[in-house]
Amino acid sequence: MGFKKGNIPWNAGKKGLQIAWNKGKKLPNNEGSGNSNYKGEQELEYKHAHAVVAKLYGKPQKCELCGRTDAIRYEWANVTGYMGRARENWMRMDKACHYKFDKVLERKMRNEKGQFIK
């Protein structure tokens, strides 16, 4: 839609009460579309997830657990078991913290995708 230059608007020159061009016409039925098309956030594949998160949130050189900034290596750790893009599923950790963190999580069951089984 949109007017091309030089086109006269449908209501040009009319004054007062105007009848809408679509009066009496049924508007397209939007039921069933819209929200139902929203399938929610798709989970990332475990093997790609860390790379996607690094692209989204960069590679901060700071551990969110212990706060150190001088570690040799930092990694994104999945902290929820949900491989979503949302920042809250991830924490930036130095390697040592990540290791410790994963040790704790090891006690939880994971499925073949690396997701926690609740």
Q: Which residues bind Zn ion (CB under 5 A)?
A: 63, 65-66, 94, 97
- What is the closest distance, in whole angstroms, from the C-beta atom of residue 98 to Zn ion in the complex? 8
Nearer to Zn ion (CB atom), residue 85 or residue 101: 101
95-100 CB contacts, 8 Å cutoff, 24+ apart: 95/71, 96/71, 97/63, 97/65, 97/66
Nearer to Zn ion (CB atom), residue 56 or residue 66: 66
- What is the closest distance, in whole angstroms, from the C-beta atom of residue 91 to Zn ion in the complex? 10
Residue with tokens 């999580």: 105
What's the CA gap between 3 and 80, in Å, rounded?
Answer: 50
What's the CA gap between 45 and 42, in Å, rounded?
Answer: 9
H/E stretch holding 74:
strand 74-78
Q: Can you read off the two tokens belonging to residue 83?
A: 């491989």
Nearer to Zn ion (CB atom), residue 55 or residue 73: 73
- What is the closest distance, in whole angstroms, from the C-beta atom of residue 54 to Zn ion in the complex? 17
Nearer to Zn ion (CB atom), residue 54 or residue 65: 65
- What is the closest distance, in whole angstroms, from the C-beta atom of residue 89 to Zn ion in the complex? 18
